Structures are given as structure tokens and as C-alpha cells.
Amino acid sequence: MPQLRSYSLPIRGAARAQVLLLAGLLAACATGQPAGNARARGKAGFPQWVKAYQDTAVRQGISRATLKRAFRGVTYNPRVIELDNFQPEFVRPIGSYVQARTKPATVARGRQLLRQHAREFAKVQAKYGVDPAYVVAIWRLESAFGANFGSFDVIRSLATLAYAGRRKGFWSGELTAALKILQRGEIPRRQLVGSWAGAMGHTQFIPSTYLARAVDGDGDGKRDLWRSLPDVFASTANYLARAGWKPGLPFGYEIILPKKFPYELADGKKTLKTKTWAAKYGVRPARGRALRHPEKDAAIVLPSGYKGPAFLVFQNYKSILRYNNATAYALAVGILAERLKGVPPVIRPWPVKDRLLRRAEKEELQRRLAGLGYNPGPVDGKVGPTTRTAIRMFQKARRYPADGYANFVLLKRVRAASK
């Protein structure tokens, strides 16, 4: 399910990354929360909260009639709060995530859908400059080609989250956006269903993304991401186009790094022209002789350490990250799209059986790195950019490949060093 997906990844992904940045701002506007701890009071305070929220919604231009229609029969949903609080003890290797989404049957189905909707895709490509294979790949990851939209009532989910979720201001803003959709009359009330977190339709747009990025592809004057595939395709392409998509470029492609490559440069950020990676660092393509797109700016992604596959990535990889800010997601979309276009599977084996770290072990890693004089950031059991930089410095100092990759082998090395 898409809503669980984001929690199975090391980074909290949500379509919609730019919206999350606004969470702080929205929190400042959200005055609908009564004082005290809603979580502790449970559902008892919910009706009162709804009443207070509605007053703020009216001040933001939502009519009483819309509110009446939206909140009829809406109750607190404890299941949504359970899902919001869920944190996996264990994260699966990125390779198994990618492999599960790029299976031969998925590739065959995706190609069939490209053929079946060829005329619509040609129109979308002409208008937005986005390769249809990427639209189809996102469609697969978001809703399994429309098989799974989620069946949570969006207003109920968002109201519950705005009342008692972890980022109340953010959810309150999404709730107001959902009410605006309803008020515009584009979508009937009963159709507002989605994931537990309010991601809607084939593309799993949250309400603010719907308002900002959804477009009417079939010209009926409505943006219907549940029932109109032309709207779905155009909206996805529009999202990518507005996220800086460059026509004619792939997300990237597989490469081979030389044995003595300075792995700290493979951080997905360090950007050089493709030809410079080749000339200065000896980077080679996994297939063919020369690196393609030699004049383009590119970074290197090494998602599962120096023993796993490496990818040269261009601007379009970043555009996919704007849809969902997780390396595993962007790579799965990119690799699936290229497979749809006839590129063979990734050559270098993914270390899918790699022993990754449990939450407590990640905390131990961070504590020990700090004890050794490195700065891994706060001890929170999350391996983000700061922790990875500390890992790389540890690896460099001890002449290990500085790939910043946190697996059990690394923890053992850090344990040995900090005895």
C-alpha cells in the first residue's frame, strides 16, 4: 500500500515534498487546536475540535454549506493515528524494494499500458515534454496502475491527523485544501477517498498537491484523479514538468566505479559534468563504451554501499525525488521507466541479503561515532546526511571505502574501533 511505503523507507517520503516545507508556515495559521494533549484525550475531544476548526476554515473562505457537507458523519479514526505512529524496527534493503517494483510482469504490464494509451501519452508528451514511460512508472509505484487508491475517507483521515497527528499544522493545511477541492465542485464528497494520509487517486496527490498541480487532461472542466486517466497522466506529467523535468534525458543509468574511486563523492549531491566523471575519476558505463550525455551535469548515487550497483543521475532523478523524497522511490521509478523503454535490468547484483541495522543499533552507531569524536548529529536512530558524513569520515580515517553506508559490517568496525 502506498501509505505504508513511505514508512518502509529510510526517508519519510510524501509526494509533495514542497508541501512539507510549508508545514511550519501552516502551523502558524492553524489556530483550530484546543490546548492540551489531544492524543491523551483520545476521541472524546474530537467533536469540539471539529467545531473550533470549522470557525478557522470559514475565515479561510470555506462556506458553512461546504463544511456541513464535508463533516456529515465524520468521526475520529484511531486507525489513522496508529498508522501515523508506526515506525518500523527494521528497514529492508533498498535492492529488495527496487526489485519488487521492477519485476518482468510489471515491465510487461507497463509496456502494454503504454501501447493501450499511446494516443493519450503522445498528447501528454507533446504538451509537458515528459517521457510517458516515467508517467507509467510513477503510476505503478503510487497506486499499482490504479489497483490501489486506498479506501480511507480523506476528510476523516485529515481531520483526525489535524486533531491528534504528529504534524498537526501540516495536516490542518491539507484538510483545508481538501475542503477547497470540495467547494470548487470538481469532486463529489463520496469520491474523496485515499490513503490513510490523504493521498488521493491514481497519482496519490495530497490535497494541496492536487490544488497546485492536478490538471484537466480530458477537457471536461474537472480534475478527476480517480476516474479520468487523461487527467491522471496529464497531472503526473505536469508535476514532473514543474519539478524541472528535462525532455530527452533519462533519470540516469548504471555505471561502474573504479576500485580506487573516492566513494565520498558518490553522495547523490556532488555534481560534475558527465565527461569530467569519466576523465578525472575513471567512471565507466555498465553498458557500452562511453558515458552518454557527456555535457550534462550529473551526480552519483550508491544506494547500497560500494559493493552494490552505482548510478549516474541527472536532473530528472531530482524531479522524481520532488514527487517523493526517497532514494529507493526515485531509483525504482527511474529503473522501471528505463526497463519499459527496453533498457535491460541492472547488471550489478543488489546486496538484498545485506544485514541492515535495527533502530537500537543505529542509535548505538551514532553514540559510538560521537564517542570517537565524529559528529553524527542527534542520537535518533535515523541515518541521515549528517550521520552519513560522520560514517564517511570514520571510514576514510581507517582506509575503508568511504561509501557512508550503514550496515552491520560497519557497526562491527565502529565497535572494534571504540573499545
For residue 367, give Cα distances in angstroms to 182, 209, 283, 363, 391: 49, 39, 35, 6, 12
Q: Which is nearer to Ca ion, 223 or 368 (CB)?
A: 223
Say how far apart CA 341 and CA 252 lie, in whole Å: 13
Q: Could you tell me the smallest distance in angstroms from the CB atom of residue 195 to Ca ion?
A: 22
- 292, 249 Cβ separation under 8 angstroms: no
Q: Could you tell me the smallest distance in angstroms from the CB atom of residue 187 to Ca ion?
A: 11
Three-state DSSP at 153 gives strand
State the number of binding residues for Ca ion (CB under 5 A). 6
Q: Could you tell me the smallest distance in angstroms from the CB atom of residue 219 to Ca ion?
A: 7
Using rule CB under 5 A, residue 228 touches Ca ion: yes
- 342, 32 Cβ separation under 8 angstroms: no
**Binder among 84, 120, 131, 231 for Ca ion (CB under 5 A):** 231
Using rule CB under 5 A, residue 227 touches Ca ion: no
Instruction: Select from 34-42, 156-164, 229-237, 259-267 the region that touches Ca ion (CB under 5 A).
Output: 229-237
Q: Could you tell me the smallest distance in angstroms from the CB atom of residue 227 to Ca ion?
A: 9
> Residues with Cβ < 8 Å from 190, sequence gap 6 or more?
none
**Binder among 29, 129, 218, 271 for Ca ion (CB under 5 A):** 218
Say how far apart CA 3 and CA 193 lie, in whole Å: 13
Say how far apart CA 348 and CA 205 lie, in whole Å: 34
Instruction: Select from 25-33, 44-52, 209-217, 307-315 the region that touches Ca ion (CB under 5 A).
Output: 209-217
Q: Could you tell me the smallest distance in angstroms from the CB atom of residue 221 to Ca ion?
A: 7
Binding mask of the shown chain, residues 268 to 307, with x at each position contacting Ca ion by CB under 5 A:
----------------------------------------
Q: Could you tell me the smallest distance in angstroms from the CB atom of residue 237 to Ca ion?
A: 14
Instruction: Select from 1-9, 216-224, 273-281, 316-324 the region that touches Ca ion (CB under 5 A).
Output: 216-224
- 63, 70 Cβ separation under 8 angstroms: no
Question: Which secondary-structure segment (H or E) carries 274?
Answer: helix 274-281
Instruction: Select from 226-234, 266-274, 279-287, 369-377 the region that touches Ca ion (CB under 5 A).
Output: 226-234
Using rule CB under 5 A, residue 188 touches Ca ion: no
Pairing of strands 297-301, 284-285: unpaired
User: Hey, what amino acid is at 60?
Assistant: Q
Using rule CB under 5 A, residue 220 touches Ca ion: yes
> Residues with Cβ < 8 Å from 242, sequence gap 6 or more?
213
Q: Which residues bind Ca ion (CB under 5 A)?
A: 216, 218, 220, 222, 228, 231
